[in-house]
A and B are shown apart, each in its own frame.
Chain A
Amino acid sequence: MSTDSSDLAETSSSSAGDRRPTHRAMEKSGAPLVSVRNLKKYYPVSGGVFSRSKSNVKAVDRVSFDIFPGETFAIVGESGCGKTTLGKTVARLYEATGGTIKFDERDITDVDGKQLRQLRRDIQVVYQDPSSSLNPRRRIGNIIREPLDVHNVGTKSERRERVADLLEMVDLPVEFRHRHPSALSGGQKQRVAIARAIAVEPKFVVLDEPTSALDVSVQAKVISLLDDLQDELGLTYLLISHDLSLVKNVADRIGVMYLGNFMEVADSRELFENPLNPYTEQLLSAVPVIESHERSLKPSAVEVQGETPDPQNPPSGCPFNPRCHHRFDACDSVEPELVEVEPGHLTRCLHDPGEKRKEVIQAMPKDVAFEDRKGSRQD
């Protein structure tokens, strides 16, 4: 996770001015497969006479992250935080408003035509609700074969064989190729969607809440299938989910998103054992537990409060400040940046409990030092 100082200075005029670069490049082996810098996706809000566009909803605002080959990077957050928009923008299904997306060290932010077509082979998406992502009028075999047809893979008979192989890979009987989606259960449909996504041998799959529409007993099966496929095919996943317990067990690294940007990014284990951001703490403490000893993993004495504010009208300063249990004066005026406080562990908070707090303050420029942060805003 790295951001150039120039980028920061350019985009963070509302926050703490010319801050020195605080993010270091993640020390991971090899180059990232997906590398996102300052990505923005704004939706215009129209209203009034002639539906003029009045303002923007910043669904994704200055997001930067890397995904390394073979890993599962998860985005968690509440509804409306922009996680799906981020996923779809990275997959080039939405046009970015600003920033860059690099895939395999190639800038793909504005590719089109033939290059975009090629890119579609490398990036595939599995959607939340398989009932609406599969065409009800086509047979399963055709649905899975369609990406092969589109990308002209192999001969006709090879494609037929490939469909049979794919069905086998997702543990469905080959006879299913003649059925319609309506004859399948939710879990089976999601398997078909997965088979379709991996048909053209992508490198990168965006999984947008792949199991939210499924019952838990089926969810477990689908998750272990995705896990097996990742090992088998060397896939890289971007998993979008609202379920912290699921993400903890599936993802290698996690980004916790709130109102269009990450509040905290860390290795999965680190995030749960040592959450640094108050928002992560509240999310964690709200997770209903199944086993008694899960309770020990939840932060104690954190009261969950409030709801996600209207993204059209986000709070000033830290986006989480109206709900935060560590809130202090400066929070509603100074916008914190995502800072690396431990190797690979980034958080966006002015106020960090314990040891980390000092480091965060040191990383802040002098003029917004702890005491007079409030004043710096008014200058």
Chain B
Amino acid sequence: MTDPILDVHDLSVSFDTYEGRHDVLNGVNFTINEGETVALVGETGCGKSVTARSVMGTLPRPPGDITSGKIRYHGDNLLADEDAHEQVKGDQMSMIFQDPMTYLSPVYPVGSMMADVATYSGRKDVSSWEILKSFLGHRENAEEIRERSIELLDRMRIPDPEGTLDRYPVELSGGMRQRVIIAMALINEPEFLIADEPTTALDVTVQDQILDLLRERVTEQNLSMLYITHNLGVAREIADRICIMYAGEIVEVGRTEEIFDAPLHPYTRGLLDSIPKLTGFEGSGIDGQIPDYTNPPSGCRFHPRCPAVMRGTCDMEPVEHYAVGEDRTVACHLYEDGMEFEEAAAIAADEATYDNEEPQPAEAGVRSKQ
């Protein structure tokens, strides 16, 4: 396999607050290969956005502090050289945000914001003279930028793209704003996209359309994407691989279908069971709540809520990532390194189940066949 485009290795991030030091990220590892979409899935406060911001270099420091780890982009460690990080982020990365209204200025028309991104992104040597000229409407290659913007908006299936350039964000609907945000992210032809819950604020019908468009762009331009979401259903629609995150740690990584068909980590299982489905709803949920980061649980961070907790092991020994089968890692003491997938699935069905009633050992077997 070729080298991954992004390799996040052992990333730890802390925040200093009045309550003390919060160890939010604790040794996060994941990779994204070229042309691949990886979804980072987890509940509120599990560190998804902190991870994205660290990669994007927009983590507020202080109070944030990257205590250890490497973020390698095409093999170069971005954390070692801030200037290089700035350069790479401007030239090759783009980010799509959750709430378009927060990230679009209400006082500029769409076209002017797109032109600014096209002109200034990734540049540090912009003179005041140039800014003044642009502001007064004498931008170099203004025509070209306008054409490119129109083409992009058109590809995002915005009706009347030319007219949209002269509109203000308030004149657009939520779905249209999100399309503009995506068009803006694509204007400098990045090769790596970070999408932070881009469809969370939208209705399902609009979400469906935005996901289709995003997938289309990603395939057509062979983009690599880190997609952050709390919605497993959305992750299933868009991602090739999924990383499940809990309390600042990645607990399970696997190909999308595998994660859904045979979840291994007790947290993943609990999460999947908690979601109401068209076919049924167990309604079991997971007891307890996400831990306090100033004093996270020892050993496995999930052990206070885990139904398969082993006293003496899970609460003492720090957990490692065990490879189970191909392309699958799980951070849980139930599994051993190099375990066969079938064996792991049987253990998962036996131990890591949230049914209060009879355990159903056949379940995992049925699921894994699908």
Question: Interface on A for B, CB 8 Å cutoff?
Answer: 78-79, 185-187, 215-221, 223-224, 227, 242-246, 248-250, 272, 282-283, 285-294, 297-298, 304-308
Contacts and interface: CB of A to CB of B under 8 A. Distances in A.
Interface stretch (B8-16, B203-211, B214-222, B293-301): B203-211
Given A297-B278, A304-B208, A288 B231 contact: yes
B82 interface: no
Contact of A219 (B231, B261, B274, B279): B274
11 contacts: A186-B44, A216-B232, A220-B284, A242-B204, A245-B276, A272-B278, A288-B208, A288-B233, A290-B233, A290-B272, A297-B278
Interface residues of B, number: 43
A187 B282 CA distance: 18
B271 interface: yes
Given A217-B274, A288-B204, 8 more contacts: A78-B206, A216-B232, A220-B285, A221-B283, A248-B278, A286-B205, A290-B232, A306-B205
B148 interface: no
Contact of A289 (B206, B274, B278, B283): B278
Contacts of B173: 307-308
Contacts of A288: 204, 207-208, 231, 233-234, 236-237
B124 interface: no
A224 B280 contact: no
Given A217-B286, A307-B175, A290 B204 contact: no
Nearest to B173: A307
B195 to A, nearest CB: 15
B274 A220 contact: yes
A185 B257 CA distance: 32
A242 B261 CA distance: 26
B370 interface: yes
B281 interface: yes
A242 to B, nearest CB: 7
A187 B283 contact: no
Given A187-B289, A218-B285, A220-B283, A245 B209 contact: no
Given A288-B233, A290-B236, A244 B208 contact: no
Sorted nearest first, the 5 A-B pairs with minimum C-beta distance are: A288-B233, A220-B285, A249-B281, A286-B208, A221-B285
Contacts of B207: 286, 288
B280 A217 contact: no
A29 to B, nearest CB: 26
Contacts of A291: 260, 277, 279
Contacts of A292: 257, 260-261, 370
